[in-house]
């Protein structure tokens, strides 16, 4: 879990109450799998970037700016 306070997630989503957040926050299993796959992909990319030679890291940073 992201360990984010309920109050913070409600303020981001625009829900004033926990009940409304729960009512509007239904997620299908496929959505969960897709989101987790993206997180794993980003983690693998970060791990590969951390172990890459300095020139590769600098090239990736300059392309993202």
For 4-52, what is each residue's pLDDT tens digit? 788 888 888 888 888 888 888 788 889 888 988 988 998 888 888 888 8
| Helices 29-50, 54-64: inter-axial angle, 10-degree rounding | 130
In a domain, 15, yes or no: yes
pLDDT at site 57: 64
Q: Which domain holds residue 39?
A: 6-64
Domain assignment present for residue 11? The answer is: yes
- Looking at the domain assignment, is residue 58 inside a domain? yes
Local structure of residue 16 (DSSP, 8 states) = S
* 1 falls within a domain: no
Could you give the number of structural domains in the chain?
1
């Amino acid at each position: 879990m992201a360990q984010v306070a309920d109050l913070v997630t409600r303020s981001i989503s625009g829900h004033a109450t926990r009940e409304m957040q729960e009512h509007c926050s239904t997620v299908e299993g496929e959505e969960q799998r897709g989101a987790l796959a993206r997180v794993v992909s980003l983690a693998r990319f970060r791990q590969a970037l951390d172990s890459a030679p300095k020139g590769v890291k600098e090239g990736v940073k300059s392309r993202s700016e």
